[in-house]
Amino acid sequence: MSPRIDLVAPPFSGHLHPILGIARRLAREHAVRVVSTEEVQGQIAAAGLAGVALLPGRDGEIRAIAEPDHAVGHHPLRLHAQLRANLALLGDFRASLRALWQTGGPPDLLIADFTLPIAGAVARELGVPWWTSHPSCCAIETPDGPPAYLGGWHPGRGPLGRLRDAAGRALIRTFKRAVHRLHRAQIRDLGFASLYREDGSEALYSDERVLAFGIPELEFPRRWPAAVELVGPVLYTPPSAAPEPPFVHGRDHVLVTLGTHLRWKKEAMAEQVRRAAAALPGIELHWTDGEVRSDRRESAGNFHHLGYVSYARDLPRYALVLHHGGAGVMYHTLRAGLPALVFPVDYDQFDHAARLEAAGVARRLRRPEDLAAQVKEALQDEGLRAACRRFQALLAAREPEERVAALVAERLHPPEPDAILLP
């Protein structure tokens, strides 16, 4: 019988899609299940995979926590409120996952998205090997370099810059430890007596393997924990019946997206894109809602409001992408060799924006009102295009799904001792 692998992810595209990408590859040799919530079981099935739904009827509650009607950023009170609401859900998730494994037997390997360390805690209790998948490398704490979640810091220069980075890292750890102390009993009951191990690595991630879906060429130089390997971005695009965008022969097309979250920001941003289109009559601007099941297609002159744009099918036909700095669209854009304007709004997006700027593959859009002028400049920036072509080549040389498959095979089917000694 083939070893069974359970992959666990929340019902959000930036976390679920990489899991679906590696699950499709692993399913060639192993029995694979994707564990998430009811809302995404259709997406899992459409990927040709077996799905398991936990927390039935609670997708609305989950989305209310993950998608508030305001920016969370690095605001300590908002972050704390989000965690407090999340802890009760995690307790129920833990009980559901434990029941699933106790009834049907545990898997031979668990790969869990970094937002669901509780799955790793259950695996540890039952003696199941646990790996972490991580699409946001910048959020992994290291003993050097700039910390994440402080507005997108670039590495500090000189002694004072390194001192600033160290102070920032200490601030992040102090905040996390303070929150842990406030909820010590609940977090301990979830399986985490401490947030950090003796070696300083984060206990919420696997100490055996962290599959980081990024490339070192884009990340700032840092000393990664021993378990971390940057395997490359896993870029899965779900099948969709959405119509192709309206492309006009001989004209440049610009795609604008804020991803699948940030509903509170989208309406205002769509209006800014509409205004920019009026100021750029020779350029087609496509705004997408990022809704995979939507067939919306409304046009007014050179402004087009689309429900969904398939990155795999449509992205190479654009000349420029304006995005929010989500890990998925960031790497899809780089793989297509396209320059970008990046407009971060929340969470790790500011840190991704800093890395894109430093690599010379994107310009930072700081005010939506400047969109039209920035689009014109970016389309004429040959240095930007050259840098994007270089990163396109770097990504084309990587096969992250194959690397993950090789690591899994090594873990589940280690070579016999005699075979290791053979010449």
Percent of the chain with pLDDT over 90: 80
> What tens digit of pLDDT does each residue of 125-182 get?
999 999 999 999 999 999 999 999 999 999 999 999 999 999 999 999 999 999 889 8
pLDDT band at 306 (very low <50, low <70, confident <90, very high): very high
* pLDDT computed for residue 80 by the predictor: 58
* pLDDT computed for residue 183 by the predictor: 87
Indicate whether 419 pLDDT > 60. Answer: no
Is residue 110 within 8 Å of 90, Cβ to Cβ?
no
Distance CA 109, CA 399 (A): 21
Residues 6+ apart with CB under 8 A from 95: none
> What tens digit of pLDDT does each residue of 37-72 get?
999 999 999 999 999 999 999 888 887 766 666 554
* pLDDT computed for residue 249 by the predictor: 96
User: Which residue's structure tokens are 């980075």?
Assistant: 165
Residues 6+ apart with CB under 8 A from 147: 141, 153, 165, 168, 169, 171, 172
Is residue 404 within 8 Å of 355, Cβ to Cβ?
no
Distance CA 363, CA 350 (A): 12
* pLDDT computed for residue 76 by the predictor: 59
The CATH number of the domain covering residues in 252-397 = 3.40.50.2000
* pLDDT computed for residue 268 by the predictor: 87
pLDDT band at 384 (very low <50, low <70, confident <90, very high): very high
Question: Mean pLDDT score of the chain, rounded to an integer?
Answer: 92
pLDDT band at 84 (very low <50, low <70, confident <90, very high): low
Q: How many CB atoms lie within 10 A of CB 94?
A: 20
Q: Give the domain ranges of the chain.
A: 4-233+399-412, 252-397
CA 23 to chain centre: 16
* pLDDT computed for residue 60 by the predictor: 86
Cα-Cα end-to-end distance for the chain: 30
E strand or H helix at 51, and its extent? Answer: strand 50-53
Q: Kindly report the pTM of this predicted structure.
A: 0.92
pLDDT band at 265 (very low <50, low <70, confident <90, very high): confident
CA distances from 62 to 56, 65, 233, 258 (A): 11, 5, 26, 20
Burial class (CB in 10 A: 0-12, 13-18, 19+), 202: buried
Which one-letter amino acid corresponds to residue 402? E
Distance CA 384, CA 212 (A): 26
The CATH number of the domain covering residues in 4-233+399-412 = 3.40.50.2000
Q: What is the rounded average pLDDT of the residues 367-378?
A: 96
* pLDDT computed for residue 69 by the predictor: 60
Q: What is the rounded average pLDDT of the residues 201-218?
A: 97
Q: 214: which strand partners?
A: none
* pLDDT computed for residue 87 by the predictor: 79
Indicate whether 391 pLDDT > 90. Answer: yes
Q: What is the dihedral of CA 58, 71, 168, 341, to 10 degrees?
A: 110
Is residue 147 within 8 Å of 168, Cβ to Cβ?
yes
E strand or H helix at 88, and its extent? Answer: helix 76-104
* pLDDT computed for residue 104 by the predictor: 92
Indicate whether 77 pLDDT > 60. Answer: no
Q: What is the rounded average pLDDT of the residues 358-377?
A: 97
Equal CATH topology for 4-233+399-412 and 252-397: yes
DSSP string for 173-197: HHHHHHHHHHTHHHHHHTT-S-SB-
Q: What is the rounded average pLDDT of the residues 100-109?
A: 96
Tell me phi and psi for residue 367, to 5 degrees: -130, 125
> What tens digit of pLDDT does each residue of 400-417 get?
999 999 999 999 987 766
* pLDDT computed for residue 21 by the predictor: 98
